[in-house]
A and B are shown apart, each in its own frame.
Chain A
Amino acid sequence: MRDRTHAWMRLGQVLSLAIALLAFGPLSRSLAQAQTGPIRVGAPLPLTGPLSPEGIKLQQGYEIWKDEVNAAGGINVGGTKRPVEIVYYDYQSATPKAVQLAEKLVTDDKVDFMFSPFGSGATKAASTVAEKYQIPTLAPTASSVEVYDQGYKYLFGTFTPNDTLSEPLTELIRAKMPNAKKVAILARNDLYPLAIGVEFEKSAKKRGFDVVYFEKYAINTLDHASALTEIRNTKADWIVATGYTNDMILVRKQMADLGIKAQAITMINAPAYQEFIDATGPLSENVTSAGWWHPAARYKSKDIFGSTERYTELFQKKFKYVPDYTAATGSAVGVLLQMAIERAGTTDRVKVRDALAAGGYDTFFGPLSFTPAGQAISYVPPIFQIQDGKTIVVAPDAVKSGDLKLGVR
């Protein structure tokens, strides 16, 4: 009886050894391969659906970085050059699907690092996946501070908080119009545009402005005449409108329809896009705005692009249009990941995470360092104004290419 038990135990040992060999053999092979093979980055993107214009711009940003890195032989990991491979999934502009695909990228595709989906909401939702599996994740388009308030250690975003747009812009307007009193704010009733509208209200009140009008308009509004008639009645010196490109084109046109002549008009974010200037024509003159990056900025960088100028040139050559901040932040998360891996000298997730947290990266997008929560805090977003149909950066001083002008058509 004893002998028989012994024999069974022996057999069990042999079997488990065999299973172990079978199981870990390929794993150890793949480990070896992992140290020389491509570095895999997961990127869930809204390539179809309402967010597809932004999704496509982000993808172009990732691609130009990847091509540039791979043309140079790859990322230098402690002396070995390893190429980059980006695994894309289209989440069809549906946030729940973005979260599922992020999970799939980690468990099925076994990516080493991750780029977040588009916007604050989807970034926050998908960040739990990254945190669970401890995958360093770079967020290219999340500006709301609420994204970073979960105490997560593996999430890093390139956009500074919303008030970093409203504060310097309000400061600049105040300096230029010291006697102005009244500001009117019209905000789209939507997460980000409303949040930024509220930030402008705070910034304006702080500097002694009287907020004479603050209203929200519904998504898909086809007519702003009533709101603008009221704003005209307030005789506001400064009008702030927030929303997306179609809203801002319509608001600007209807301001002209009602003969509104404020000293200053600020619109977030449409003027960052060339299509706003094309669609509003002369009406875009002297409209001010702010965004996290602008091709007119002049950063010298230690990344693969070398400078903002060279980046813009390369991008324009490849995609036949001038990159805006959405495309640029896509490339920025790329160079950021590359610099962090090169500084860490390894693709070890914890070490790369620590390298990211340490900050101090000079990129074409601006200098990047992060708060303990992971949001960029290290640069002042450019404030710009459309002058003679061109976008001129009017602040901060380090990157400005012209002075703020007052008066609109």
Chain B
Amino acid sequence: MLALQILVNGILLGGIYASIAGGFSLVWGVLNVINILHGSFVVLGAYMAFFAYTLLGIHPYLFVPIAALLLFAIGLAVQYAIVNRVIDAPVLVSLTLTFGLTLFLDNVMLNAFKADFRKVNLRPPLGIIDVSDYLPAIDIIVPVDRLASMAFAILLVALLYWLLRRTSIGRAIVAVRMDRYAASLMGVDTRIIFAVTFGIGAAMAGAAGALLSPIFPISPLASTAYLGKAFVICILGGLGSVTGVLVGGVALGVLESFGAYIFGPEHSLTLSFTLLILLLIFRPTGLLGKRGFI
């Protein structure tokens, strides 16, 4: 029964991880930009949700689309004004640029919000589902807020999938991902597609931030931890794959949970990065990775 609970913990954690990694994978896959700024976007979304809840009383889940919209605008602006200038430069240049931007944004948040740790305290709290109340044989506890985050993460990924598959802008993004020069020959304005893709990535980060605000402590210093997870998930699930984000997220969550159980909690981080190295050696495309998006 202990193992079953740990499996449930891992899957729920994986849902949260998937929501963090979605936008990061899209931007990396399509733009070939390793967006170090992504973690800070998640934190910014969390702060927005925090203030929306404490000042205006807007529930973080209702705030998810608003955070996504706000971050979409910010992402679009950042890409069009700044990142677009280095889009054709080698990947290290855009990495350095977004690294600089993340230092800037983190310190702006540090100044604006202080280093205090905050968290959204839902009143009343969403509570837990004790499965043994319904099925006495199964002693499992499911926290409702994590379950909701998982559901939202699946919804977000499904939405992204639909967007890329069914809309013309989505098809254009996929086309740019496959071959940007051929796409521009076909009349796709790559500069706009780049900006929109970056905007969607930021929107997904903002949505994730709002989802995380009742779960994790919020602080400007948290961005690197989220970024680290996004990295591992992308490698694990495979770059350029929407479903890979879900698979990668859940795989990491389950691995970390069992790793902490079997080897002790001090080794769960070591385990996920060891796995990252092994995958890079033996299966660099990740579990579901392939060339071309989707």
Contact = CB atoms under 8 A, between A and B. Distances in A.
A, B: real partners: yes
Contact of A222 (B6, B130, B216): B216
Given A216-B265, A221-B269, A246-B217, A226 B130 contact: no
* Most chain A CB atoms below 10 A, which of B13, B258, B264: B264
Nearest to B107: A48
Nearest to B219: A246
Contacts of B278: none
Contacts of A372: none
B119 A253 contact: yes
Contacts of B96: none
A218 B117 contact: no
A222 B253 CA distance: 11
Given A223-B13, A257-B141, A279 B266 contact: no
B110 to A, nearest CB: 8
A250 B225 contact: no
B119 A222 contact: no
Interface in A217-234: 217-218, 220-227, 229-230, 233
B55 to A, nearest CB: 14
B257 A249 contact: no
Interface in A246-285: 246, 249-250, 253, 256-259, 275-276, 278-282
B119 A218 contact: no
B231 to A, nearest CB: 14
Main secondary structure of the interface of A (DSSP, over half): helix
A223 B146 contact: no
A224 B266 CA distance: 10
B225 A222 contact: yes
Given A250-B216, A257-B128, A279-B118, A50 B257 contact: no
A240 to B, nearest CB: 15
B9 A250 contact: no
Nearest to A245: B117
A109 interface: no
Contact of B268 (A50, A53, A226): A226
A215 interface: yes
A281 B121 contact: yes
A235 B57 CA distance: 37
Interface string B264-279: 1111111000000000
Contacts of A224: 265
A226 B229 CA distance: 18
A225 B13 contact: yes
A259 B140 CA distance: 10
A279 B217 contact: yes
B221 interface: yes
A189 interface: yes
Contacts of B10: 225
Greatest chain B CB density within 10 A among A186, A224, A225, A245 is at: A225
Contact of B118 (A230, A253, A275): A275
A258 B119 contact: no
Interface of A: 50, 52-53, 186, 189, 215-218, 220-227, 229-230, 233, 245-246, 249-250, 253, 256-259, 275-276, 278-282
27 contacts: A50-B221, A53-B115, A215-B266, A217-B266, A218-B266, A220-B228, A221-B265, A225-B6, A226-B6, A226-B9, A226-B259, A226-B261, A226-B265, A227-B260, A229-B261, A230-B2, A246-B219, A246-B222, A253-B215, A257-B146, A259-B128, A275-B116, A279-B117, A279-B118, A279-B217, A282-B121, A282-B125
Given A258-B5, A279-B121, 7 more contacts: A215-B266, A223-B257, A226-B268, A227-B260, A246-B217, A256-B128, A258-B141
